[in-house]
């Protein structure tokens, strides 16, 4: 049976603490900023949504929820470390993440969102339930970098892959003199020059 502390419902499942609220609870109790300072374990959610993630540390979440004229607004900072495979060698790389989140939360049944600006992030909640672990997981996934390199790869101490008649080049890197372009692609070298 959940223990209710203020408006926070703390549910212990297999020694994990889940923090969640209903939109109605937040609307009733967030006339003043409702501060949050939690450590949230969202690893299982992140790994289920992105199979490339090797591990995720528990996330430190600090901020507040507030009811304003548009709805329930969340403003908080998330800090966590994610281990991802290098995009070059697949070696594990620790990626520290530290970012701010500013989101509005509304019920999924609410279809008229015209009161929000195009720049506002609006999250529609199924069953009107805000699960902080889901919010943290989604924001961690959004902030994962697309290019991940080990320190050696970053410093250029790791050879780029190559094979017979091909090699990987960094952006801006040119072929060494003496190397030829595949004759099947040679006609394409002037393609953009003709269009300008």
> How confident is the model at residue 195, as a pLDDT?
61
Which of 20-29, 103-112, 151-160, 181-190 is modeled with the greatest confidence? 103-112
User: Is 0.75 surpassed by the pTM of this model?
Assistant: no
Domain boundaries, the chain: 3-142, 160-195
Minimum mean pLDDT range among 7-11, 60-64, 81-85: 7-11
Q: What is the DSSP letter of 146?
A: S
- Of 121, 11, 35, 179, the closest CA to residue 1 belongs to 11
Q: Does 8 score more than 70 pLDDT?
A: no
C-alpha span between 122 and 21 (Å, rounded): 17
Written in H, E and C, the secondary structure of 132-162 is: HHHHHHHHHHHCCCCCCCCHHHHCCCCCCCE
- Kindly calculate the radius of gyration of the chain based on its CA atoms and give it in whole angstroms: 24
- The rounded distance, in Å, linking the Cα atoms of 142 and 149 is 18
């Amino acid at each position: 049976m959940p223990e209710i502390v203020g408006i926070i419902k703390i549910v212990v499942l297999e020694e994990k603490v889940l923090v969640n609220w209903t939109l109605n609870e937040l609307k009733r109790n967030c006339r003043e900023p409702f501060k949050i300072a939690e450590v949230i374990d969202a690893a299982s959610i992140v790994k289920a949504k992105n199979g490339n993630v090797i591990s995720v540390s528990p996330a430190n979440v600090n901020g507040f929820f507030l009811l304003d004229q548009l709805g329930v607004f969340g403003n908080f900072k998330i800090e966590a470390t994610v281990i991802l495979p290098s995009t070059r060698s697949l070696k594990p790389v620790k990626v520290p993440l530290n970012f701010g989140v500013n989101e509005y939360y509304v019920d999924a049944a609410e279809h008229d969102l015209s009161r929000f600006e195009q720049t506002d992030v609006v999250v529609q909640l199924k069953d009107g339930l805000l699960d902080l672990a889901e919010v943290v997981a989604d924001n961690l996934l959004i902030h994962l970098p697309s290019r991940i390199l080990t320190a050696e790869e970053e410093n250029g101490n790791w050879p780029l892959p190559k094979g017979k008649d091909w090699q990987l080049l960094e952006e801006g890197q040119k072929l060494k003199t003496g190397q030829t372009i595949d004759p099947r692609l040679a006609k394409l070298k002037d393609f953009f020059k003709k269009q300008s």
